[in-house]
Chain A
Amino acid sequence: MNHDRFEELLGRLVDDELTTGEQAELIQLVEEDPARLGEIRNQLELSELIALSEDELKGSHSFLTSLQHRIENDPFVTGVHTAIHSGKPLRKKTSVLPWMIAMAAIFALLVTSIFLFQSSREPVIAELTEVEGSFQWIDPNGLVIGALEDGQAFTSGTLESLTPDGMAKLKFHDGSWIQIWGKTSLSITANPQKILHLRYGNAWIFANRQPKEHPLIVHTPEADLEVLGTHFKVLVNHSQTNLLVRKGLVRLTRNADGAQVDVPAMHRVLSSTETNDSLTVIPQARPVVFWKSNLPKDVTGGRWRSEMHALREEVRAATDKGEMSEEEARRLLESRAKDLLEDKGSLYATRVKRDPATRKGLSYMASLSVLLSQAGPTFLVDGSRFVVQGEVQTPTEIMVGFCALDSGNPSGGRYYFRRKVAGKFELEIPISEFQFWGQNFRRSSPVGKELVQWWSSTDSQEANLMISGLELLAPDK
């Protein structure tokens, strides 16, 4: 019995899902039989090795690059380099007296403390003017700062949102702004050229005129963007970089083949790693006040399951259990294939950690980007309403929310609505029923703003929240 319980707890430990009570229980079981400690280590080791083998992000290159970054930016190493370049001896080759060692230790401690408290000795290049939601800042030394506040100043580093429902705004010293929303990872440096790395997510960039020799560069996994001064949105999702220029001109260079296009105001272009088709710059469509989500195309958080995928899984489970032969499975799939479409299905909420450091605030969330399948901007007007269709397995309270941007300046807001639901549900929610969510962004009505991100979440895992349809309806005539 104890063995079975140990196995159960061990599985949960490796999956990082042990509750405090279960941790105590596991410790007791290990104390009863210390050999279990070896089994724990074996399982942890295998788990890490499999992750290293399967997860491309954990490869040698990324580990080495991060380490080099930490080494290059370590204050002690920087000090050594400075000393070498200035020709000053670091220390004598002769034996060092103990008090000198102590002094060196105190000095190192001081440097480290200053470094830890000030994050870095690099100059401040940007300020976080507004932040709402779960964000973290990773400085060049890999130090993670979790509790971000309005007005926090930053040197170079990476701003990451941990959940799809966040919004933040950074301001550079020259008055340029960047607004990010949804699940986004954005690295910034400015020395003096501003270089941004948008690894994934969404950014709305208001770049003031930059020096000609130092254009603002935005790197994405698929393309490089070069700007002298302009307003544009960049979205990086599904191996694609979507560039929407509002004012000015942005030059996009596709990483895969070096193809270049200049994208003028009110035009857009899509750069993808999955195609080598010529880059086509097209005009952005006129603003609209309605939107019907194309769930598989718009998904930015959660797990999309098409009807066909669901059937394949059912068939696979049946063949694994021996309830169906391979031949029967093949025939069933062939006969149903024509009726089931890959773009029909549901979006399931998946787990998000609001704070990975404290592991608090687990939530289950599905999110959609409005900009991915819409040809132009979608505006919220007086009388707009959302129609949300979905299902939960157990009654629960869900939150429905959205991010909206001001059209003329880099600001916006988050809005939410809560409702208890059970079983299959369809909610029609006028935007007037949404509450403003946050403290740092200026409180304002969503009317007149551009809808960019939508999400729904619940704190209940058992509810297995699923969204099957979402529409923004225009006001009734």
Chain B
Amino acid sequence: MDSPSKHSNQFEPLVLEHHLRVRAFVRTLGVDADWVDDIAQEAFLKAYLDWESYDQTRDFGKWVRGIAANIVRNEIRKQARRQRILNSDLVKMILAEGKGDLSNWDHLPLEVLKTCMSKLNQLNRTIVEYRYREGLNASEIAEQTEKSSANIRQMLLRIRRQLRLCVERQLALES
């Protein structure tokens, strides 16, 4: 097979097609939010370097997600200085549960999620914006909204559940 450099044109559309799902997948493995992109990029970089071993009849996204899972697996062995995961024991449990099937994680399409987000009520919408657009933590949002931080965390959990349900319903309707 050709060297990877000859595949730059082929590689870029694949990155654009798959990066969102790879990034979301990396987060589901228990990776610290600040390091998700770093690990996702590392996975794509390894895929690029290892292009010759890629069987092009296979699902590219699944292949890269498998590479990402291996990077996270190696991360457990690192000491705390540069560890990019939330908790080693938790990540071990997630990886053990997947038993090599982790890359089959059923992903939610971002476009459908955006539609569902537009249906959130004003208060929920505001909390999502504070959390994800302005990067405030629960305590800071609590200060802005005059609620307790525990209350805000609970609301965020419910909002995320509500959004998942909405996306799944939407997908069921479409299918």
Q: How many residues of A contact B (CB 8 A)?
A: 64
* Residues of chain A lying within 8 A (CB to CB) of residue B143: 348, 464
A44, A71, A74: which contacts B27 (Cβ < 8 A)? Answer: A44
B40, B82, B107: which contacts A357 (Cβ < 8 A)? Answer: B82
B174 to chain A, nearest CB (A): 18
* Residues of chain B lying within 8 A (CB to CB) of residue A316: 145
* B36 is an interface residue with CB less than 8 A from chain A: yes
* B171 is an interface residue with CB less than 8 A from chain A: no
* Residues of chain B lying within 8 A (CB to CB) of residue A464: 143
Please tell me if the beta carbons of A8 and B145 are within 8 angstroms of each other in the complex.
Answer: no
Give Cα distance in the complex from A44 to B156, angstroms: 12
* A103 is an interface residue with CB less than 8 A from chain B: no
* Residues of chain A lying within 8 A (CB to CB) of residue B153: 8, 11-12, 15
Please tell me if the beta carbons of B146 and A313 are within 8 angstroms of each other in the complex.
Answer: yes
* Residues of chain A lying within 8 A (CB to CB) of residue B71: none
Give Cα distance in the complex from A339 to B93, angstroms: 58
* Residues of chain B lying within 8 A (CB to CB) of residue A49: 20, 24, 108, 110, 113
| Interface bits A45-86 vs B (CB < 8 Å: 1, else 0) | 111111111110010100110111011001011001100100
Contacts A30-B93, A37-B94, A45-B24 known; A50 to B160 CB distance under 8 Å?
yes
* A278 is an interface residue with CB less than 8 A from chain B: no
Give Cα distance in the complex from A54 to B134, angstroms: 9
* Residues of chain A lying within 8 A (CB to CB) of residue B131: 50
* B129 is an interface residue with CB less than 8 A from chain A: yes
Please tell me if the beta carbons of B145 and A67 are within 8 angstroms of each other in the complex.
Answer: no
Of the listed stretches A16-24, A183-191, A443-451, A467-475, chain B binds A16-24
Interface size for chain B: under 10, 10 to 19, 20 to 34, or 35 or more residues? 35 or more
Q: Smallest CB-CB separation from B153: which chain A residue?
A: A11
B25 to chain A, nearest CB (A): 8
Please tell me if the beta carbons of B137 and A50 are within 8 angstroms of each other in the complex.
Answer: no
B5, B19, B132, B164: which contacts A60 (Cβ < 8 A)? Answer: B19
B115 to chain A, nearest CB (A): 11
Please tell me if the beta carbons of B113 and A66 are within 8 angstroms of each other in the complex.
Answer: no
Q: Smallest CB-CB separation from A317: which chain B residue?
A: B146
* A442 is an interface residue with CB less than 8 A from chain B: no
Please tell me if the beta carbons of B48 and A52 are within 8 angstroms of each other in the complex.
Answer: no
* A90 is an interface residue with CB less than 8 A from chain B: yes
A50, A52, A77, A303: which contacts B23 (Cβ < 8 A)? Answer: A52
* B104 is an interface residue with CB less than 8 A from chain A: no
Q: Of A16, A52, A70, A77, which is in contact with the most chain B CB atoms at under 10 Å from its CB?
A: A52
* B16 is an interface residue with CB less than 8 A from chain A: yes
Please tell me if the beta carbons of A351 and B117 are within 8 angstroms of each other in the complex.
Answer: no
| Interface bits A24-47 vs B (CB < 8 Å: 1, else 0) | 001100100010010011111111
Q: Smallest CB-CB separation from A69: which chain B residue?
A: B41
* B75 is an interface residue with CB less than 8 A from chain A: no
Interface of chain A residues 226 through 246 with chain B (CB within 8 A): none
* A266 is an interface residue with CB less than 8 A from chain B: no
Give Cα distance in the complex from A477 to B137, angstroms: 47
B127 to chain A, nearest CB (A): 11
Give Cα distance in the complex from A44 to B105, angstroms: 13
Residues of B whose CB lies within 8 Å of any CB of A are 3-5, 12, 15-16, 19-20, 23-28, 30, 32-34, 36-38, 40-42, 44-45, 48-49, 80-82, 86-87, 89-90, 93-94, 97, 105, 107-108, 110, 113-114, 117, 123, 128-129, 131-133, 135-140, 143-147, 150, 153-154, 156-157, 160-161, 163-164
| Given pairs A12-B153, A13-B86, A18-B87, 17 additional interface contacts (CB within 8 A) | A15-B153, A15-B156, A16-B33, A16-B34, A16-B86, A23-B90, A26-B90, A34-B97, A40-B94, A44-B28, A44-B30, A46-B108, A50-B128, A51-B132, A53-B113, A314-B146, A317-B145
14 sample A-B contacts, Cβ–Cβ < 8 Å, listed by A number: A15-B156, A44-B28, A45-B27, A45-B107, A48-B27, A52-B24, A52-B110, A53-B114, A53-B132, A55-B132, A60-B16, A67-B41, A74-B45, A80-B4
Residues of A whose CB lies within 8 Å of any CB of B are 7-8, 10-18, 23, 26-27, 30, 34, 37, 40-55, 58, 60, 63-64, 66-68, 70-71, 74, 76-77, 80-81, 84, 90, 142, 303, 313-314, 316-317, 320, 348, 350-351, 356-358, 461, 464
